[in-house]
């Protein structure tokens, strides 16, 4: 985050996303049938972009995220971050570049909002998880940015769904990772909270100079808040790239 | 944050003071009362001609130290299992470690494989059984993806071993059967003075390993995927957690037999009392709380000696369960 000279870039290089990759030499699994969900040409994402991934159910949004997160491998091609091949980075390195927010968090008893946000500092703390001055400053900054200062000592089980989602975003933010991925962040939120969260994410992408990916079925809101939309055309099995301003009719007709 | 931290140390101090007081009290108890000078001499300035000092050295002191170590070890093992499986009903025996011990002890006492007949033999058999069960579960944990599957394997292994024990019991000689039953009741008297060092050392290794795992344990609370994305090598940590649990559970079961209830209940109570998810505090709380519970049970056992001779396993639940219910009702 303090590299002012280099601009972080996330690139998809000739990516084929799907599943059924056979495992290596450790287990002798029969070579499964490879099923390609979609392919993508070379795409580059820069900091400050708020990108929505849209597509019909089953088109491969979750698979794409799993591939970026490292839970799966791409069938071919590579994802590179700042020139380095993504899957070659070790776990700690990955945690400093990438953070993830699931669509629903039910809270953990006795885990306060402060504790939850502090968990995001894990890649930077020592073995006993001691929070240094710097760690505490980062956590404070995140709490202020998200308006969580009044909830700091509240048990996460006692929060409302909207507050919990924002607290989870806080945890992802305190990781100080350049890339943040949210899987359907608005799925369980009410109308007001949806707009609130997306507005927050849009500001965060600009202010913190991060690349934020969300997947969503809420097309109207995506078109309203995002700077870029990446759509999976299930018929052509292609990843389409659109930047603002969006021609909504055209995109919807092509994809759905 | 600092104010909250000192709250935990205060609670630790209270528990520690309570433990110390009760330990000293427990040392005086037995078939006859022994005063403090004799207790001190029995441990440090041993004179074998004095009956009191003899009793302290051979019976009292090992009994009380074993109480502390077994309570602490089993509670920590229980805490590890509850965090690994994210289930408050998990206990140290959920992986089937003590079923392995049980099986080997059953074989050595009740079957025709009478190799290990002596007291030390039972300890050895239990150790080998725990070790074997531990290895089996570790092997499975490397190849099984889902930890729920691992839990099921542990439970199935426990059931299978238990069934074999029943078969052995069905054909056993009544005297041998009684020996086995007495073992399964759990006892704090099974450790000799010179074996205390080994017991303490092994428990210390298990505790040390748990302390090293504090940070990953804290991160596992949000689930495997989230922990993995924060830099935790989930498979390796799972392996280490099982190693620590096996060491702690195995050594205690070997020397004391299967002591029920403690490992399941103490970590839950500690969470209610300390109100935190930070394993740094939960570990120290479980250590002190577990030791406290077993020492209290031992005190009860000694006080009831003239009237009843109750097995340890019965007492842990008899005393523990009402306490737990009181705490729960007070909280809700």
Cβ of B229 and A109 within 8 Å? no
B226 contact residues in A (CB cutoff 8 A): 100, 102
pLDDT band at B120 (very low <50, low <70, confident <90, very high): confident
For A120, B53, B257, B285, the CA distances from B299, given in Å and listed in that order, are 46, 20, 19, 21
Distance of CA A129 to the CA centre of its chain: 25
Burial per residue of B233-272, b for 16 or more beta-carbon CB atoms within 10 angstroms, e otherwise: ebeebbebbbbbbbbbbbbbbbbbbbbbbbbbbbbbbbbe
Minimal CA separation from A189 to chain B, in Å: 20
More confident residue, B71 or A234: B71
**Long-range pairs, A188-197, Cβ under 8 A, ≥24:** A188/A103, A188/A104, A188/A161, A189/A161, A189/A162, A189/A165, A190/A162, A192/A162, A193/A161, A193/A162, A193/A165, A194/A218, A194/A221, A195/A221, A196/A162, A197/A162, A197/A165, A197/A166, A197/A169
pLDDT band at B295 (very low <50, low <70, confident <90, very high): very high
Q: What is the predicted ipTM?
A: 0.82
Minimal CA separation from B232 to chain A, in Å: 7
Alpha-carbon span B317 to B4, nearest angstrom: 32
pLDDT band at B168 (very low <50, low <70, confident <90, very high): very high
Residue A7 has pLDDT above 70, yes or no: no
- Residue B106 contacts A where some CB pair is shorter than 8 Å: no
> Which pTM was predicted?
0.88
Cβ of A95 and B230 within 8 Å? yes
Of A98, A108, A120, the CB nearest to B221: A108
The pLDDT value recorded for residue B115 is: 59
Q: At what angle do helices B279-303 and B61-84 cross, to 10 degrees?
A: 140
Chain A residues with CB under 8 Å of a chain B CB are 69, 71, 91-92, 94-95, 98-100, 102, 105, 108-111, 114-115, 119-120, 122-123, 125, 127-129, 131, 136, 175
The pLDDT value recorded for residue A29 is: 46
- Residue B302 contacts A where some CB pair is shorter than 8 Å: no
Helix %, strand %, coil % for chain B, to 5?
Answer: 80, 0, 20
DSSP state of B111: S
Q: How many C-beta atoms lie closer than 10 Å to residue B287's C-beta?
A: 26
Of A212-226, A239-253, B310-324, the least confident: A239-253
Alpha-carbon span B246 to B238, nearest angstrom: 12
- Per mean pLDDT, which of A18-22, A41-45, B41-45 is the most reliable? A41-45
Interval B39-64: pLDDT, tens: 887 778 777 777 878 888 888 899 99
The pLDDT value recorded for residue B116 is: 58
Residue of B209, B230, B232, B234 for testing the chain A interface, max A β-carbons within 10 Å: B230
The residues that bridge with B330 in the sheet, in sequence order, are none
Of A98, A111, A125, the CB nearest to B221: A111
- Domains plus CATH for chain B? 2-331 (1.10.3470.10)
| CA torsion, ordered B279, B285, B287, B289, to nearest 10 deg | -150
Distance of CA B269 to the CA centre of its chain: 16
Q: At what angle do helices B262-274 and B312-331 cross, to 10 degrees?
A: 30
In chain A, which residue's Cα lies nearest the Cα of B88?
A109
Q: Are B63 and B255 in contact (CB under 8 A)?
A: no
- Per mean pLDDT, which of A230-234, B141-145, B212-216 is the most reliable? B212-216
- How far apart, in Å, do the first and last CA atoms of chain A sit? 38
Residue B1 has pLDDT above 60, yes or no: no
Both tokens of residue B132? 């074997």
Task: Round the CA-based radius of gyration of chain A to a whole number and report it.
Answer: 19
Residue B284 has pLDDT above 90, yes or no: yes
The pLDDT value recorded for residue B47 is: 73
A94 contact residues in B (CB cutoff 8 A): 229, 231
In chain B, which residue's Cα lies nearest the Cα of A104?
B222
In percent, the amount of chain A with pLDDT more than 70 equals 89
For A25, A33, A50, B93, B237, the CA distances from A120, given in Å and listed in that order, are 35, 38, 21, 33, 19
- Residue B24 contacts A where some CB pair is shorter than 8 Å: no
- Residue B87 contacts A where some CB pair is shorter than 8 Å: no
- How far apart, in Å, do the first and last CA atoms of chain B sit? 26
Of A100, A127, A136, the CB nearest to B229: A100
Alpha-carbon span B234 to B218, nearest angstrom: 12
Rounded to an integer, the average pLDDT of A159-177 is 91
Both tokens of residue B53? 């000092």
Of A100, A108, A123, the CB nearest to B277: A108
B219 contact residues in A (CB cutoff 8 A): 119, 122
pLDDT band at A5 (very low <50, low <70, confident <90, very high): very low
Interval A106-116: pLDDT, tens: 888 889 999 99
Interval A199-223: pLDDT, tens: 989 999 998 888 999 998 888 888 8
Residue A26 has pLDDT above 60, yes or no: no
Mean pLDDT, chain A, rounded, equals 82
Alpha-carbon span A213 to A179, nearest angstrom: 8
| Contacting residues for B2 by C-beta, under 8 A, at least 6 apart | none
pLDDT band at B117 (very low <50, low <70, confident <90, very high): low
The pLDDT value recorded for residue B5 is: 65
């Amino acid at each position: 985050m303090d590299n002012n000279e280099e601009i972080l870039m996330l690139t998809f290089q000739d990516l084929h996303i799907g599943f059924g990759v056979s495992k290596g030499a450790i287990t002798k699994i029969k070579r499964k049938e490879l099923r390609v969900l979609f392919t993508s040409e070379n795409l580059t994402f820069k900091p400050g972009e708020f990108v929505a991934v849209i597509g019909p159910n089953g088109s491969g949004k979750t698979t794409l995220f799993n591939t970026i997160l490292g839970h799966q491998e791409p069938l071919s091609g590579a994802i590179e971050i700042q020139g380095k091949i993504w899957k070659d980075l070790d776990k700690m390195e990955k945690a400093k570049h990438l953070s993830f927010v699931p669509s629903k968090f039910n809270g953990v008893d006795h885990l306060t909002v402060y504790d939850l946000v502090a968990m995001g500092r894990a890649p930077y703390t020592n073995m006993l998880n001691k929070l240094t001055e710097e760690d505490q400053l980062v956590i404070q900054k995140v709490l202020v940015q998200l308006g969580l200062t009044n909830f700091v000592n509240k048990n996460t089980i006692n929060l409302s769904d909207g507050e919990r989602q924002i607290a989870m975003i806080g945890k992802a933010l305190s990781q100080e990772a350049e890339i943040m991925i949210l899987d359907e962040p608005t799925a369980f939120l009410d109308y007001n909270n949806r707009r609130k969260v997306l507005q927050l994410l849009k500001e965060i992408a600009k202010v913190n100079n991060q690349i934020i990916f969300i997947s969503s079925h809420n097309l109207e809101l995506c078109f309203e808040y995002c700077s870029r939309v990446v759509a999976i055309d299930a018929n052509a099995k292609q990843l389409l790239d659109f930047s603002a301003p969006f021609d909504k009719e055209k995109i919807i007709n092509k994809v759905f | 944050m600092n104010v909250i931290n000192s709250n935990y140390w205060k609670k630790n101090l209270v528990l520690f003071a309570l433990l110390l007081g009760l330990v000293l009290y427990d040392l005086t108890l037995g078939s006859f009362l022994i005063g403090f000078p004799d207790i001190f001499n029995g441990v440090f300035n041993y004179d074998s001609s004095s009956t009191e000092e003899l009793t302290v050295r051979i019976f009292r002191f090992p009994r009380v130290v074993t109480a502390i170590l077994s309570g602490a070890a089993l509670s920590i093992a229980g805490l590890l299992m509850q965090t690994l499986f994210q289930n408050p009903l998990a206990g140290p025996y959920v992986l089937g470690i003590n079923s392995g011990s049980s099986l080997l002890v059953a074989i050595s006492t009740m079957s025709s494989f009478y190799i290990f007949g002596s007291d030390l033999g039972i300890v050895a058999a239990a150790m080998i059984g725990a070790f074997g069960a531990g290895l089996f579960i570790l092997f499975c944990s490397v190849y099984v993806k889902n930890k729920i599957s691992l839990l099921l394997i542990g439970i199935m292994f426990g059931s299978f071993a238990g069934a074999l024990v029943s078969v052995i019991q069905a054909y056993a000689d009544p005297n041998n059967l009684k020996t086995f039953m007495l073992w399964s009741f759990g006892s704090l008297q099974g450790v000799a003075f010179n074996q205390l060092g080994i017991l303490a050392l092994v428990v210390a290794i298990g505790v040390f390993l748990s302390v090293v795992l504090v940070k990953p344990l804290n991160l596992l609370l949000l689930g495997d995927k989230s922990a993995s994305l924060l830099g935790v090598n989930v498979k390796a940590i799972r392996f280490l957690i099982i190693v620590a649990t096996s060491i702690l559970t195995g050594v205690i079961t070997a020397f004391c037999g299967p002591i029920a209830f403690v490992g399941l209940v103490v970590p839950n109570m500690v969470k209610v009392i300390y109100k935190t998810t930070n394993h740094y505090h939960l570990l120290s709380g479980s250590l002190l709380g577990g030791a406290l519970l077993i020492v209290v049970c031992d005190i009860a056992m000694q006080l009831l000696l003239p009237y009843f001779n109750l097995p340890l396993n019965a007492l842990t639940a008899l005393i523990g369960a009402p306490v737990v219910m009181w705490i729960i009702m007070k909280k809700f």
